């Protein structure tokens, strides 16, 4: 076969040789295309699989771990929760609206394929500096795409995060996470079984959208973006809404064997994956596939990534029952193939065999890559960077305002106000109120909390500690609202893994995630790896994002950060000093990216989270909030944002940048009444948790800081205007 054609399909010499061994002959063009999608980095994890084995995947609540379309945990009273995060980075960098919208559509279908109803969305986004006009274009397009698709299908986007840093200028990150709720009896898998049973393709007609989308996601963004546009899919949320309802209707049919959405690779990947799980073969009749254009070639049909499509395996003889349901909802539904005993993926046109590939060779036969790995030289240099702490009394007032106006610290209201986060009526804690979203299950006394978190700057400076921090921070978010963390889904976003320094950071981040997850006993049950997020001039920070879910039982234990009444004690608990490397204040006030990242002491972190959970369950505290971006002053101010007619008088021993703005780990700010005070402090001392009572809430709209006979006063309404309006102001 032509070497240039082999190269364009993304194969190394070793991989092509392996294809010939699997087939026992040279592949034809269609077979080469099928291998190219299934063996792409995006689908095969050929560079990352050996590293991902380090992650803990088992836990007491886990029903389904990695290997299916989503992870699943058991909640209570027969309810299950499925969730997963997926990236749509490259498409969003080329077509921000459609790239983000189809990212939402794809992750919703992943959850739907587990047999549960999608009920909530989260997003984790990264862009360049918001002063850049192209970055604004990407940001606006991505948020519009997410809101358009999510709002139209009636699935609320209830939580998320967004950061702005120069390395993401040319490679924005768009990670979408979906959560679904169902009963244990509803659980389905992406499997094909029983020779003679049928394959039913439902949803949209197949078009030319997104051909080679999987291989596009497995390469760097180089060259003209116009050349990449054909790889970006176009979604139709109204069609997806119909598909959701139709799938949930046929889910209960006893003749349904398995189902899977057609995501990356479309029909070139899904049938083989379903066959591999069932240890069977698949035969597809290409002429039976409903298409948008009769001129489409078999290559285009099989590699198309047209959205809003599902493949069902159903018992022979029951197909009319299924087809009637989909036709009722105005959807295409056609039997396109069957399960066969011969363990091959076969595509036929009449009597002619167009492609025939052994299933195990296709799905699991890709040669795993042994990547070179070495630490980047910059790490030691940036770790030892000189930081001159020089806060003057005249600067403290303006410095805090600068911190609050940073897009990485400021409210993300500009984003979440575009999302319908209350649709379905189950959102208890909405965006901008709690450290995590909390949702109810109608008719039940318990609920669940969800969050998504990550900090690429920490991982850039110290990948191992950054990985630990991503998990610990997400867990703190859940604990703060009264939830018990249950499981993680991770989105791992990195540059080119063929660069030894990039792969080393990937290894270290995964090791950090694994160590923290094991210590906190929170298994990783699903996730996604996105490599090649770099251009000719910029490489993203190593950016893991951690989606985490927890149970709130009973739901009445739910807590938000706001101060409830005057006279409450406001207290910092946890570490009282630490490292400040990678903090937002170093960037904003000093123009520095560097310093030592504060390490997470996992024994202390575990003890601290257990103490906060116990204080909430015993109803000894009135609010809790973890200290993160912006540091202590920001955390205290955030407790005032959603509290009308409330202020605080805070007393500290000395004016210290590190203490006021540092972002070291393992800290919460809690509040309690004078009646609860003695019990709270006794509990903290009994569990060896350091604390510092900082002040009292009052009914004045002032934030007052007393230190060394000096008093600094901020008007809370002015701070609120800065904090809530910073991103909107930058967006014009």
Q: Which residues are catalytic?
A: 42, 88
The region that residue 630 occupies, defined by phi over 0 for left and psi between -120 and 50 for alpha, beta otherwise, is left
Question: Which residues are paired to 439 by β-bridges?
Answer: 427, 448
For 573-602, give the secondary structure using H, E and C. EECCCCCCCCCHHHHHHHCCCCCCCCCCCH
What burial letters (b/e) apply to 433-470, b meaning 16+ CB within 10 Å?
bbbbbbbbbeeeebbbbbbbbbbbbbbbbbbbbbbbbb
In 3D space, the residue among 721, 614, 712, 709 whose CA is nearest the CA of residue 670 turns out to be 614
Q: How many CA atoms lie within 13 A of 503 on its CB side?
A: 16
Q: What is the DSSP letter of 650?
A: E
CA dist 651 and 636 (Å) reads 12
User: Pairing state of beta strands 62-64 and 667-672?
Assistant: unpaired
Q: Which long-range contacts (CB under 8 A, 24 or more apart) does 220-228 make?
A: 220/496, 220/532, 220/534, 220/535, 221/90, 221/93, 221/94, 221/170, 221/171, 221/532, 221/533, 221/534, 221/535, 222/535, 222/536, 225/93, 225/94, 228/90, 228/94
DSSP bridge pairs for 484: 551
- The full 3-state SS of 669-729, as one line of letters, equals EEEECHHHHHHHHHHHHHCCCCEEEEEEEECCCEEEEEECCEEEEEEHHHHHHHHHHHHHH
Q: How far are the Cα atoms of 109, 185, 377, 529, 684 from residue 62, in angstroms, in the given order?
A: 21, 15, 40, 21, 32
Question: What is the separation of C-alpha 309 from the centre of its chain, rounded to a whole number of angstroms?
Answer: 23
Say whether the peptide bond before residue 694 is cis (omega within 30 degrees of 0).
no
8-state DSSP, 372: -
- Residue 489's beta-bridge partner residues? 526, 547
Return d(Cα 512, Cα 69) in angstroms, integer: 25
């Amino acid at each position: 076969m032509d070497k240039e054609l082999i190269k364009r399909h993304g194969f190394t010499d070793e991989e092509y040789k392996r294809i010939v061994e699997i087939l026992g002959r040279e592949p034809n063009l269609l077979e080469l295309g099928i291998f190219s999608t299934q063996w792409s980095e995006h689908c095969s994890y050929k560079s990352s699989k050996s590293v991902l084995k380090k992650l803990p995947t088992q836990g007491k609540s886990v029903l389904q771990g990695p290997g299916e379309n989503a992870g699943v945990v058991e909640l209570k009273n027969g309810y299950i929760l499925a969730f997963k995060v997926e990236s749509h980075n490259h498409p969003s960098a080329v077509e921000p609206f459609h790239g983000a919208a189809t990212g939402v559509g794809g992750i919703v279908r992943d959850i739907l394929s587990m047999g549960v109803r999608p009920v909530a969305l989260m997003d984790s986004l990264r862009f360049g500096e918001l002063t850049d006009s192209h970055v604004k274009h990407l940001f606006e397009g991505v948020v519009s795409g997410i809101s358009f698709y999510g709002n139209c299908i009636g699935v609320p986007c209830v939580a998320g995060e967004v950061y702005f840093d120069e390395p993401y200028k040319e490679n924005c990150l768009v990670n979408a996470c979906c959560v679904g709720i169902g009963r244990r009896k509803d659980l389905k898998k992406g499997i094909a079984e029983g020779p003679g049973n049928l394959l039913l393709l439902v949803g949209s007609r197949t078009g030319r959208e997104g051909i080679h989308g999987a291989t596009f996601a497995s390469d760097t963004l180089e060259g003209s973006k116009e050349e990449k546009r054909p790889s970006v899919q176009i979604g139709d949320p109204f069609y997806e809404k119909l598909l959701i309802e139709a799938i949930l209707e046929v889910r209960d049919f006893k003749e349904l064997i398995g189902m899977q959405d057609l995501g990356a690779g479309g029909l070139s990947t899904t049938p083989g994956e379903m066959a591999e799980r069932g240890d069977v073969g698949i035969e597809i009749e290409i002429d039976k596939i409903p298409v948008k254009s009769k001129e489409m070639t078999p290559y285009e049909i099989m590699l198309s990534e047209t959205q809003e499509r599902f493949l069902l395996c159903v018992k022979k003889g029951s197909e009319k029952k299924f087809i009637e349901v989909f036709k009722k909802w105005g959807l295409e539904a056609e039997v396109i193939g069957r399960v066969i005993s011969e363990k091959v993926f076969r595509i036929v046109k009449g009597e002619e065999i167009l492609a025939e590939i052994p299933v195990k060779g296709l799905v699991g036969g890709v040669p795993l890559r042994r990547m070179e790995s070495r630490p980047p030289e910059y790490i030691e240099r940036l770790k030892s960077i000189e930081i001159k702490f020089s806060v003057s009394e005249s600067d403290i007032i303006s410095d805090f305002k600068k911190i609050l106006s940073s897009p990485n610290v400021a409210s993300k209201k500009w984003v979440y106000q575009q999302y319908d986060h209350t649709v379905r009526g189950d959102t208890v804690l909405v965006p901008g109120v709690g450290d995590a979203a909390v949702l109810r299950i109608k008719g039940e006394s318990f609920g669940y909390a969800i969050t998504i978190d990550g900090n690429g700057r920490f991982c850039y400076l110290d990948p191992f500690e950054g990985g630990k921090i991503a998990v610990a921070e997400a867990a703190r978010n859940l604990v703060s609202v009264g939830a018990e963390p249950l499981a993680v889904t991770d989105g791992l976003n990195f540059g080119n893994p063929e660069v030894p320094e990039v792969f080393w950071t990937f290894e270290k981040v995964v090791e950090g995630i694994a160590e923290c997850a094991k210590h906190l006993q929170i298994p990783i049950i699903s996730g996604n790896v996105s490599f090649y997020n770099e251009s000719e001039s910029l490489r993203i920070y190593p950016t893991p994002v951690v989606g985490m879910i927890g149970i709130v039982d009973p739901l009445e234990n739910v807590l938000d950060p706001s101060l409830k009444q005057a006279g409450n004690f406001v207290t910092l608990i946890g570490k009282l000093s630490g490292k400040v490397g990678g903090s937002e204040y170093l960037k904003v006030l000093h123009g520095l990216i560097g310093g030592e990242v504060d390490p997470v002491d996992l024994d202390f972190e575990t003890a601290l989270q257990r103490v906060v959970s116990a204080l909430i369950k015993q109803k000894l505290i009135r609010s809790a909030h973890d200290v993160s971006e912006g540091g202590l002053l920001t955390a205290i101010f955030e407790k005032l944002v959603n509290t009308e007619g409330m202020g605080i008088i805070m007393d500290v021993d000395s004016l210290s940048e590190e203490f006021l703005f540092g972002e070291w780990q393992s800290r919460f700010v809690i509040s309690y009444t004078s009646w609860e005070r003695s019990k709270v402090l006794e509990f903290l001392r009994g569990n060896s948790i350091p604390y510092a009572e900082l002040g009292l809430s009052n009914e004045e709209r002032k934030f007052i800081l007393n230190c060394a006979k000096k008093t600094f006063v901020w008007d809370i309404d002015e701070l609120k205007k800065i904090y809530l309006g910073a991103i909107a102001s930058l967006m014009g």
